[in-house]
Every structure is written in structure tokens, then in C-alpha cells.
Amino acid sequence: MPPLPPPSDGTAFDGSRPWTLHPQVSLRPESFGALAYHFGTRRLSFLKSRRLLAVVESLADQPTGHDACVAAGVTDAEFESYERALATLAESGMICEREAS
Amino acid sequence: MTLISDHPTTAPTSVGRLVDRFEQGLDAPICLTWELTYACNLACVHCLSSSGRRDPNELSTEECKAVIDEFERMQIFYVNIGGGEPTVRSDFWELVDYATDHHVGVKFSTNGSRISTEVAERLASSDYVDVQISLDGATAEINDAVRGDGSFATAITAMQRMADAGFVGFKLSVVVTRHNVSQLDEFKALADTYGAQLRLTRLRPSGRGADVWDELHPTGDQQRTLYDWLVAHGEDVLTGDSFFHLAGYGESLPGLNLCGAGRVVCLVDPVGDVYACPFAIHEEFLAGNVRAPGGFTEVWRHSDLFTELRQPQSAGACGSCGHYDACRGGCMAAKFFTGLPLDGPDPECVLGHGEHSLAARGDAEPPKPSLDHSIQPRRVPVVMRDRRPDRTCDENPLASFDPAVLAT
């Protein structure tokens, strides 16, 4: 196995940028939300709601992180908490920035 | 394992404490241990699965592949493969390749005896295979008393080959005993020397471990030392959630801090039997078999035993203890195999309640494991040297995982 990237090799989350699920991450829906597993860093994360799962799944198809939240039905009042969750995912490399399409 | 946050969420999407959800079970295990064979070229005195001889009824290559297909369908990200010594199966590498080709990552536990230079190089080139080498003493004297003559040298050679091949971050896995608990710093130094990560797990009175638990489990004072050491080292040292019974000392250790048996973890044994956890190979904890109609999926989702384990559990005698929320009454298997009630304190309860319960057991014999594949007769003294030691009897519920809980 090649050297593992450090656990926090991710980046800060900027909701105005385009994002995507990291290609080495798999999502498994569960009743509470989902499990996310990164085959590169071997980290497991828990997404604590189905809506957060919907946001993460739609990242690659939306122009920005914020748009993905809106598309999944996140309200303005909720946006801050989702931004925090996405920031945690970005920090652990579960999601990453992509080239704007 | 790391846990970024496990606090109740404040967002409208809150689903309550995740641990509460886990106790109700998941669609598929977070962490599954799969023991591929009962055959082992060692005979560790504390082997959880009483391994030694191959069982004639072990799953065939094709049956193993069908099980892997099921794991893939259930999106089980990762399996912990153990045994016995899994690498003695002639189809071991074929099965590892099959799993990783089907999006099922593998971490396998080994005593290191089959880690040749060539194998180490092959492992180093794979993204989806992790390796855990077992060692139960930082010196040959301490290790070989438990794992057998020459087993220290074998493990060290394997670690050297892994390091030479450039495999960074493989695991050095240690079962903490009364005799090696004073060597924690040395284990850490050993792991650092070879670019490995140290993993410490709890000695369970399971399998042959039942025969030696009284003599080998850490004393109360040693448990406190261990706890302080683990707190000081935080996430640098993995524990597979092994020591959640120590949470009664105060701060919880990193991890989920719950008994995941049948809820988030389980064991598939070499003949396809599914048990609630790797430490509970006993008919009492047998949920079904992967060869039965519906396969593993049916057992995981609908077996009577797992359904029952996912119901709220009684705190029993621990109900009035202020630490119950921290330790959750400890380890089910540890209680069972020491003859204690499942709804009472863990035998190593940090408040000493377990010792009282053990003393109150009277002459009743604790339950014995239902299966025994040992080559030598059981009940071998720890100091005996003419017996070859074992395998990786230390597989843990949440072993390979490194979860980060997200508060949304």
C-alpha cells in the first residue's frame, strides 16, 4: 500500500465552489443517514441525515456546494449546520473540490 | 479509531445520538470479522477461536466467493479476515484479490509466518489491503510465552519485510496482558521503528482465552495505567473500541463506546456460522449460517438472535450505577465466558463490581466454547514452552475502522 495521506489532507469548505464526492469514497444509505468510507485513508464517517446524504450525492451535479444544498431542500435557516457538516467532510477528504464544469 | 463528534445534533435533521441508532442495528455491519480457517501453524494460549486444526466443513473457494458477492451487494466496505492463520489457506490470495476486485476492502490478521519479501512487496502495491501483525510481547520472552517459541522473531522479520517493501501504516496488534502491560512504550517504539501503527486490544476469556484469563488479564492497577496511557496517546493508537469498559474511569476513549455485537459487528466463522461478535463463538451467540437460504443477508437482517440484541437491553445490576452511560455494562462475551450474568457488571468493571460478582459465582463452571479446534489438549500453562503459539486471536468489533461522526 502506498503511504496513506494524512487524515486531514482535505481542504477548507467553500460553499461557493464546485465540489464532488472523492472518487475513493463509497456511500451506504442507512436509516439514520449514511455511512461514508474512504478507501484511501480508511476513514469511516457517519452522515447524520438522509438530507445530508442527498446533498453529498448531488455535489458533482451542482455548480456549487451551496446549490447542492438548495437542490436537496436545505433551507436558509439550516444552511449553516449543513455547511459545518460539509466542512467536516472536506477536512477529512471525503469530499473535494472539482474543476468547474 | 477517531470520532470527530458524537454529540446530539441541534439541526432540525437531528436523529438523536448515533450510538442509540447503532444499538438498533444497521442494514449491514460496519465491521465484519471473517475467520477463513481454523487451521493455524501456531497455538497461542489465548486464541479466541481455539484454532489449530482445519475444520473439514470449511467454506470452499466458490462458497467464499459467493459470500464476498453478498458483502458487495450489502456494501460492506471492509472485512477483517482472520482465523486461524488465514494465509495457510491455499486460496487465500485468490480470495483477497476477489474481494478487492469486488469493492470489499480487506484487512487480514497474521502471525507473519507467510510474509515473505515477495508477499510484502505485493501487499505494498495494493490500495485495498491492510495487514495486521500480531505480537503479544515487546520482547521474545514475554511474547513467546503466549504465542510460542520463535513467534517473536517471526513477527519482527515480517514487520521488517513490510517496512522494506514500503508498506507504511500496517498494524502491529497487541493483546494487552498482565505481563506485557508494562511494555506499552516499547510496543509504541517498535511500531514506530517499522512505520506501523500500534493497535492494542483487550484480552477476552473466549476460546482458549478462557483457560488463561485468570492468570493473564490485567490487574485493577494495570487497567488504570493502561487507561491513562490510552488517554495520553489518543488517536495515535488504535483499540478497535476494545476498552470501552474502562470509560468508567472518566473521559471516554476514542471510539463508539458500545458493545456492537449483532448491531454493528459480527463474525462469520470458517464453516459459515454467523456469531454476534468475534469473541462469542458459542451456540448461545450463533445467529445462523451463510449456507442457509437467504445467506448472510438474511442472518444479519432477520435472525432471532440479532433482532433480540437490537432491542433495548436491561442494565440489570448496573442500572443504579452512575457510570452505566459510559461503560454500558462492558463486554457481553467477557461476562458470558466468566460465568457472569449478561445484565450485570463486566468482570473487569473499573469500580470493582466485577470482582465481587466473580467471587460470588461459587463453584459453578463458566460456559465453555462450543467448538475446539486445538491440536493440543486444552488447559496448557502459560509458561509451557513445547507448544507452538497462535494466530491473531485478537480481532475486534470495530477493528479496522476509523469513524468520524458528523454532527450536521
Residue range B168-197, pLDDT digits in tens: 999 999 999 999 999 999 999 999 999 999
Cis amide prior to B84 (ω within 30 degrees): yes
What is the distance between the alpha carbons of residues B67 and B38, in angstroms, rounded to a whole number?
Answer: 18
The residue among B368 and B112 whose pLDDT is bigger is B112
Residue B14 has pLDDT above 50, yes or no: no
What is the distance between the alpha carbons of residues B70 and B72, in angstroms, rounded to a whole number?
Answer: 5
The residue among B12 and B293 whose pLDDT is bigger is B293
How far from B242 is each of A76, B63, B248, B349, B362, CA to CA, in Å? 42, 31, 14, 14, 28
State the CB neighbour count (10 A cutoff) for residue B54. Answer: 17
pLDDT of B204: 96
Q: Sorting pLDDT into bands at 50, 70 and 90, what band is B396? A: very low
Nearest to A3 among B26, B168, B405 (CB): B168
Cβ separation A7–B9 shorter than 8 A: no
CA A51 to chain centre: 12
What are the pLDDT digits (tens) for B24-80?
889 999 889 999 999 999 999 999 999 999 999 999 999 999 999 999 999 999 999
Q: Sorting pLDDT into bands at 50, 70 and 90, what band is A10? A: low
User: Residue B74: CB partners within 8 Å, gap ≥ 6?
Assistant: B27, B28, B296, B297, B300
pLDDT of B281: 93
Q: How large is the ipTM? A: 0.83
**DSSP per-residue letters across B23-60:** HT--SS-SEEEEE--SB-S---TT-TT--BSPPTTPPP
Nearest-CA residue of chain A relative to B196?
Answer: A3
Residue B96 has pLDDT above 80, yes or no: yes
pLDDT of B216: 97
How confident is the model over A45-72, as a mean pLDDT?
95
State the CB neighbour count (10 A cutoff) for residue B103. Answer: 15
Cβ separation A48–B77 shorter than 8 A: no
Contact B92, B135 (CB under 8 A): no
Nearest CA-CA distance, residue B246 and chain A, Å: 23
Nearest CA-CA distance, residue A99 and chain B, Å: 25
Q: Sorting pLDDT into bands at 50, 70 and 90, what band is B378? A: low
Its pTM stands at: 0.87
Residues facing residue B109 across a β-bridge: B132
Residue B2 has pLDDT above 50, yes or no: no
Give contacts of B 343-362 with A, CB under 8 A: none
What are the pLDDT digits (tens) for A21-30?
999 999 999 9
What is the distance between the alpha carbons of residues B114 and B42, in angstroms, rounded to a whole number?
Answer: 12
